[in-house]
Amino acid sequence: MLPKKFIFQYHEKLPPKYQVLRSIEEKELKNFLSYFPQGIISLDLETTGLSPLLHQVVEISAIKITPEGKIEIFDTLINPLVPIAPESTAIHQINNEMVKESPLFSHIVHDFIDFIGDIPLLAHNAFFDIGFIIGELHRQKTLFPKNEVFDSFKLTKELLDKKIIKSFKLSNLAKHFHLDCTNFHRSFEDSFCCLMIMLKIFQDQTKYSLQERPAPLTKLNFYGEISLEDIPEHLSDFYQLKKDDLFLLQYKGKSIKERQRPVQMVSILPMPQGQMLYALCLISKQYKYFSIKKVEGISLLSNEDQKELLKNYPHEKK
In 3-state terms, what secondary structure has residue 156?
A: helix
Active-site residue, selected from the candidate residues 11, 107, 138, 178: 178
104 CB neighbour count, 10 Å cutoff:
13
Note whether 146 and 221 are within 8 A (CB): yes
* Nearest C-alpha neighbor of 24 from the set 131, 173, 179: 179
224 — phi, psi (to 5°)?
-85, -30
182 CB neighbour count, 10 Å cutoff:
9
In 3-state terms, what secondary structure has residue 140?
A: helix
Q: Euclidean distance between the first and final Cα of the chain, in Å?
A: 29
Determine whether 92 is an active site residue. no
DSSP string, 257-273: -SSEEEEEEEEEEEETT
- Sheet of 260-271, strands arranged across: 286-291, 274-281, 260-271, 246-251, 295-300
Residues marked active site are found at 178
